[in-house]
């Protein structure tokens, strides 16, 4: 408390300085209403703080000063030189009062009184309206503000343990019948009838009866409407005023009748509720607070918010999910289910350190395994078995540690509605945002670096994708455009789609622009996909005049680069007149990877296991040549391109005989297939990803590197890039089964 008091006086110094500066500015002819407001707030804050510390003299004067300033603020009082002079003197006195309060002294009351009267006099006619000055009004102010908050008697119905100690003897109990019908406005203010009932229950034994006769059928139900009412029977020693106090916050937003019942049926309630008086000292009573908090926890954990009888009445009687019934049910459910989860906040650095250590642990465990094998121990030896357990544990630790960093993408998605509103306002377009899969979890690092690309793509979608309302109506679409942002997991990656229902990519314009910018030759023949991908070329911008919206910040090329930096890929699908979809596919974590370890020309490489569908041994009759160097392999009833990794990465100049190696059938993000030819498969292993870019530079076809159990470095293949580079046809996801001549030879 003393520390806060010190803060208060410190803040007072600043406020008083602001006050003086503001008044001087006003004296100098400043007419900005905000200046008057600031002056008012300064005095107001001094008063508020002083009130909290019981600095009566200060409060009294500040109140008078504030009232006069309020008149100035509302232009009831003209801002004249004389007025400001008095106010500056008042500010000086206020400063003196603050200093006096700080040293525990009192100023001469007469001086305060005189200036207070002068301030009141300023308001002239308004003086009559404002309170008479002097000690009495100050006291009134202090006490009068205290209106409704009388010390409450807290009664727990389950107080068999006599909590609170000081059991008060209740003289007489009265039965009350309370009819409580909330209006819709009650819900709009976030009030909850269940909470009001909870308040009442603190007063005594409460019987709750629900009236739901007004509840319409679901079709007619207005989710914002109010249909429920309660008839409550309360047995308490509290007065009617105490009962009405429970309804204080909902006063005016409900129909309320409180009537006393003359004939109490005494036998029904035998147990007399014990009451613990709540301390109401102005001084902070920590013990009382703790006791209160504990009692509260105890009462809510026990699910004792409602009596079982009351619950039984509410629950089965409310078949429709009405908004009014929901809170009551929710409270009950929460109490019944309530396996309360607790959270702690941890410095991110610590988590990262843990993740690094676990990464090292994984490597170390792999090395140990290797050593055991090298030592010639049999797999059934105790050491080897223990090592298996260790591997299992390591994996679980790793998963758990990763889960610490996993966060729902909600934090990114949440920022978008505001962005949409701003852009919609700036572009004059009507936009509705639909989000899906907000709960999809992904590593925190990925999330942090997702915001900018998503933000930019949404800007793009609205600015370039969606048409103006009039154009949309002309095209037979609703005037309001839709942007959909969805996230989901697919084969170990997180996929984020940004879809708009706009005009789609104007490929002719994109092409013209690219030619104009010299990005492609005028006679170049491009597929639709290639045209769309021109958007990602550095220096490309389709808007004739770079608009304020999309032009801000980064271009699509930067978006693509930042997505690639996350180990992700971005693809476009667009249909003229129907809209476009931008798809981001990203790894869930940037730290580990399940890999298939393979040998290629003496080198050890790792292929991400998530990309590998199956492995197969090419046979001479399943492999065909295609063109001068291309090869395809028959996989069941389809042909897929066969890519020799060794040749592709430049380990060797001529491809090996396909039949001497093993092919990994892999799939890329858009469902394209390819078979990667390697010399041999070593096995599957979890590897810790070490960035190649940060240690060396980006290499096409290589995603990253890792350290193997034997300490050697292995490169991790970028399967998508390899497929993209080697794709024989330029069309996306070539489906070889659409190739009749080959299909004929396959079977």
Partner 1 sequence: MSRTVLTVDDSRTMRDMLHMALTDAGFRVLQAVDGVHGLEMLEADDAPDVIITDINMPRLDGFGFIEGVRQDARHRATPILVLTTESDSAKKNRAREAGATGWIVKPFNPEKLVEAVRRVAA
Interface positions, 4-43, toward partner 1 (CB under 8 A) = 4, 7-8, 10-11, 34, 37-38, 40-41
CA-to-CA distance for 485 and 490, rounded, in angstroms?
Answer: 16
Per-residue binding letters, 149-178, with partner 1 (x by CB under 8 A): x-xx--------------------------
Q: Which stretch binds partner 1 (CB under 8 A): 186-194, 236-244, 662-670, 675-683?
A: 186-194
Report yes or no: 157 and 304 within 8 Å, Cβ to Cβ: yes
Is 59 within 8 Å of 11 (Cβ atoms)?
no
- Cβ nearer to partner 1, comparing 321 with 539: 321
Binding-site member from 128, 262, 267, 286 for partner 1 (CB under 8 A): 286
- Return the SS3 of 255: strand
Q: Of 45, 322, 440, 622, which one interacts with partner 1 (CB under 8 A)? A: 45
DSSP annotation of 699 = B
Q: Exactly one of 21, 195, 515, 616 binds partner 1 (CB under 8 A); which one?
A: 195
DSSP E strands in 109-240: the ranges are 153-156, 174-182, 204-211, 229-236
Residue 110 makes CB contacts below 8 A (sequence gap 6+) with none
Rounded least distance, CB 56 to partner 1, Å: 11
Cα–Cα dist 690/590, whole Å:
9
194 touches partner 1 (CB under 8 A): yes
Would you give the distance in Å from CA 103 to the centre of its chain?
47
- DSSP one-letter code for 609: G
Tell which residue, 678, 664, 668, has the closest CA to residue 635: 664
How big is the CA angle at 584 (ends 566 and 521), to the nearest 5 degrees?
95
Interface of this chain with partner 1, residues 633 to 672, rule: CB under 8 A: none
What 3-state class would DSSP assign to 689? coil
Q: Kindly state whether residue 282 participates in binding partner 1, applying the rule CB under 8 A.
A: yes
- Helix (H) / strand (E) containing 217: none
If binding is defined by CB under 8 A, does position 278 make contact with partner 1? yes
Contacts of 390 (CB under 8 A, 6+ apart): 365, 368
Site for partner 1 in 490-529 (CB under 8 A): none
Q: Which of residues 106-145 bind partner 1 (CB under 8 A)?
A: 141-142, 144-145
In the complex, least distance from residue 494 CB atom to partner 1, rounded to whole angstroms: 18
192 is an interface residue for partner 1 by CB under 8 A? yes
- Cα–Cα distance measured from residue 158 to residue 306, given in angstroms and rounded to the nearest whole number: 11
- Under rule CB under 8 A, how many of the chain's residues touch partner 1? 71
Q: Which stretch binds partner 1 (CB under 8 A): 370-378, 409-417, 482-490, 660-668?
A: 409-417
DSSP 625-644: EETTTEEEEEETTEEEEEEE
Give the nearer residue to partner 1 in terms of CB position, either 42 or 503. Answer: 42
Compute the distance between CA of residue 682 and CA of residue 598 in angstroms, rounded to an integer: 5
Count of C-beta atoms within a 10 Å radius of residue 284: 10
**Options 30, 48, 371, 540; binder of partner 1; rule CB under 8 A:** 48
* Smallest distance, partner 1 to C-beta of residue 48, A: 5
Binding mask 435-474 for partner 1 (x = CB under 8 A): ----------------------------------------
Q: In angstroms, what is the minimal distance from the CB of 87 to partner 1?
A: 18
Q: Residue 600, class by beta-carbon neighbours within 10 Å (0-12 exposed, 13-18 middle, 19+ buried)?
A: buried
209, exposed or middle or buried, with CB in 10 Å at 0-12, 13-18, 19+? middle
Nearest Cα neighbor of 432 from 396, 458, 399, 451 is: 458
| Residue of 157, 191, 531, 610 that binds partner 1 (CB under 8 A) | 191
Helix (H, G, I), strand (E, B) or coil at 213: coil
Whole-angstrom distance, CA of residue 187 vs CA of residue 191: 5
Pairing type for strands 274-277 and 153-156 reads antiparallel
Q: Copy the structure tokens of residue 193.
A: 């009838």
Select 238 or 362, whichever has its Cβ closest to partner 1: 238
CA distance 89 to 81: 12
Cβ contact 580:571 at 8 Å: no
Of 413 and 639, the one with the shorter C-beta distance to partner 1 is: 413
CA-nearest of 225, 206, 207, 205 to 215 is 225
- Decide: is 85 part of the binding site for partner 1 (CB under 8 A): no
Nearer to partner 1, 154 or 716 (CB): 154
d(CA 226, CA 326): 12
Residues of span 309-368 touching partner 1 by CB under 8 A: 327, 330-331, 334, 340-343
Closer to partner 1 at the Cβ: 144 or 577?
Answer: 144
Residue selected from 30, 76, 118, 285 as contacting partner 1 according to rule CB under 8 A: 285
**Does residue 199 touch partner 1 according to CB under 8 A?**
yes
Please identify which residue in 1, 385, 425, 479 interacts with partner 1, judged by CB under 8 A.
Answer: 1
- Given 350, 353, 418, 432, the residue binding partner 1 (CB under 8 A): 418
Contacts of 568 (CB under 8 A, 6+ apart): 493, 584, 585, 586, 587
Q: Give me the least distance between CB of 328 and partner 1, in Å please.
A: 10
Quote the least distance from Cβ 351 to partner 1, whole Å: 17
Cα(454)–Cα(484) distance, integer angstroms: 12
Give the residue with the Cβ less far from partner 1, 100 or 377: 100
The neighbour count for residue 161, using CB atoms within 10 Å, is 9
Q: Which residues of 272-283 are buried (b: 16+ CB within 10 A; e: fewer)?
A: ebbbbeeeeeee
Residue placing its CB nearer to partner 1 in the complex, 189 or 508? 189
Between 150 and 738, CB nearer to partner 1: 150
Q: Which of 136, 289, 375, 393 binds partner 1 (CB under 8 A)?
A: 289
Does an H or E element contain 580, and which? strand 579-587
The residue from 279, 381, 392, 625 that contacts partner 1 (CB under 8 A) is 279
Cα 529 to Cα 5, 128, 567: the distances in Å are 68, 80, 21
| Footprint on residues 683-712 left by partner 1 (CB under 8 A) | none
Is residue 183 near partner 1 by the rule CB under 8 A?
A: no
Site for partner 1 (CB under 8 A): which residue of 219, 283, 349, 389?
283
With respect to partner 1, which residue has the nearer C-beta, 42 or 178?
A: 42
d(CA 709, CA 369): 8
- One character per residue 54-73, x = contact with partner 1 (rule: CB under 8 A): x-------------------
Query: Taking the complex as a whole, how short is the minimal distance between the CB of residue 480 and partner 1, in angstroms?
Result: 17
Which of 194-202, 207-215, 529-537, 612-620 is the region at the interface with partner 1 (rule: CB under 8 A)? 194-202
Do 247 and 183 meet the contact criterion of CB atoms below 8 Å apart? no
Residue 551 in contact with partner 1, rule: CB under 8 A: no
Is residue 530 at the binding interface for partner 1, with CB under 8 A as the rule? no
**Is the Cβ of residue 294 or residue 660 nearer to partner 1 in the bound state?**
294
Binding map of partner 1 across residues 226-255, x = CB under 8 A, - = no contact = ----------------------xx--x---
Residue 65 CB, nearest distance to partner 1 (Å)? 13
Contacts of 268 (CB under 8 A, 6+ apart): none
Q: Does 225 bind partner 1 (CB under 8 A)?
A: no
Q: Is residue 259 at the binding interface for partner 1, with CB under 8 A as the rule? A: no
Contacting partner 1 within 291-310 (CB under 8 A) = 292-293, 296-297
Taking the CB of residue 350, how many other CB atoms lie within 10 A of it? Answer: 10
Cβ distance to partner 1 smaller for residue 303 or 492:
303
């Amino acid at each position: 408390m003393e520390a806060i008091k010190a803060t208060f006086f410190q803040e007072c110094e600043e406020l008083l300085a602001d006050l003086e500066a503001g008044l001087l500015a006003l004296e100098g002819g400043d007419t900005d209403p905000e200046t008057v407001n600031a002056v008012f707030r300064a005095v107001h804050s001094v008063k508020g703080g002083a009130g909290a510390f019981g600095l009566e003299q200060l409060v009294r004067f500040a109140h008078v000063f504030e009232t006069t300033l309020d008149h100035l603020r509302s232009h009831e009082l003209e801002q004249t030189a004389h007025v400001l002079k008095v106010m500056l003197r008042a500010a000086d006195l206020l400063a003196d009062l603050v200093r006096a309060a700080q040293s525990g002294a009192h100023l001469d009351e007469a001086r305060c009184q005189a200036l207070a009267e002068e301030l009141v006099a300023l308001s002239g006619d308004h003086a009559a309206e404002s309170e008479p000055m002097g000690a009495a009004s100050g006291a009134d102010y202090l006490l009068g503000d205290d209106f409704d908050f009388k010390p409450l008697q807290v009664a727990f119905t389950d107080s068999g343990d006599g909590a609170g100690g000081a059991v008060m003897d209740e003289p007489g109990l009265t039965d009350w019948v309370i009819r409580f019908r909330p209006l819709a406005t009650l819900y709009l203010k976030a009030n909850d009838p269940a909470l009001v009932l909870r308040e009442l229950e603190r007063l005594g034994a409460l019987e709750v009866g629900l009236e739901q006769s007004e509840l319409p059928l679901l079709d007619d139900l207005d989710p914002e409407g109010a249909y429920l009412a309660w008839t409550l029977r309360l047995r308490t020693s509290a007065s009617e005023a105490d009962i009405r106090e429970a309804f204080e916050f909902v006063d005016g937003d409900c129909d309320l009748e409180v009537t006393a019942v003359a004939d109490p049926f005494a036998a029904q309630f035998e147990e007399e509720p014990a009451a613990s008086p709540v301390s109401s000292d102005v001084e902070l009573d920590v013990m009382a607070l703790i006791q209160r908090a504990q009692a509260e926890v105890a009462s809510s954990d026990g699910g004792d918010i409602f009596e079982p009888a009351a619950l039984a009445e509410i629950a089965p009687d409310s078949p429709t999910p009405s908004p009014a019934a929901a809170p009551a049910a929710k409270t009950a459910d929460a109490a019944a289910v309530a396996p309360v989860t607790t959270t702690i906040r941890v410095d991110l650095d610590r988590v990262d350190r843990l993740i690094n250590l676990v990464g090292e642990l994984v490597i170390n465990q792999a090395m140990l395994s290797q050593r055991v094998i090298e030592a010639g121990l049999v797999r059934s030896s105790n050491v080897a078995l223990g090592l298996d357990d260790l591997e299992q544990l390591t994996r679980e630790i790793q998963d758990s540690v990763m889960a610490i960093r996993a966060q729902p993408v909600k934090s990114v998605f949440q920022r978008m509605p505001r962005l949409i509103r701003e852009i919609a306002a700036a572009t004059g377009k009507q936009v509705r945002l639909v989000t899906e899969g907000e709960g999809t979890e992904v590593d925190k690092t990925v999330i942090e670096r997702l915001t900018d690309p998503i933000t930019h793509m949404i800007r793009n979608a609205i600015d370039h994708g969606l048409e103006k309302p009039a154009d949309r109506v002309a095209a037979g679409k609703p005037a309001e455009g839709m942007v959909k942002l969805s996230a989901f997991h697919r084969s170990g990656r997180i996929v984020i789609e940004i879809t708009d229902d706009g005009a789609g990519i104007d490929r002719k314009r994109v092409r013209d622009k690219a030619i104009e910018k010299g990005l492609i030759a005028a006679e170049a023949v491009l597929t639709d996909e290639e045209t769309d991908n021109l958007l990602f070329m550095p220096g490309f911008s389709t808007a004739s005049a770079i608009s304020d919206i999309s032009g801000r910040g980064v271009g699509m090329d930067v978006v693509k680069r930042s997505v690639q930096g996350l180990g992700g890929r971005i693809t476009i699908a667009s249909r003229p007149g129907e809209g476009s979809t931008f798809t981001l596919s990203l790894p869930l974590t940037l730290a580990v990877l399940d890999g298939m370890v393979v040998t290629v020309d003496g080198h050890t490489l790792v292929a991400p296991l998530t990309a590998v569908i199956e492995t197969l041994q090419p046979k001479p009759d399943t492999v065909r040549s295609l063109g001068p160097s291309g090869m395809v392999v028959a996989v069941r009833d389809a042909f897929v391109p066969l890519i020799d990794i060794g040749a592709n990465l430049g380990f060797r100049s001529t491809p090996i005989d396909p039949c001497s190696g093993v092919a990994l059938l892999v799939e890329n993000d858009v469902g394209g297939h390819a078979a990667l030819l390697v010399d041999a498969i070593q096995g599957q292993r979890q590897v810790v990803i070490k960035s190649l870019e940060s240690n060396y530079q980006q290499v096409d076809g290589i995603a990253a590197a890792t350290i193997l159990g034997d300490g050697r470095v292995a490169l991790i293949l970028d399967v998508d890039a390899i497929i993209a580079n080697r794709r024989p046809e330029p069309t996306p996801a070539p489906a070889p089964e659409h190739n009749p001549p080959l299909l004929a030879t396959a079977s």
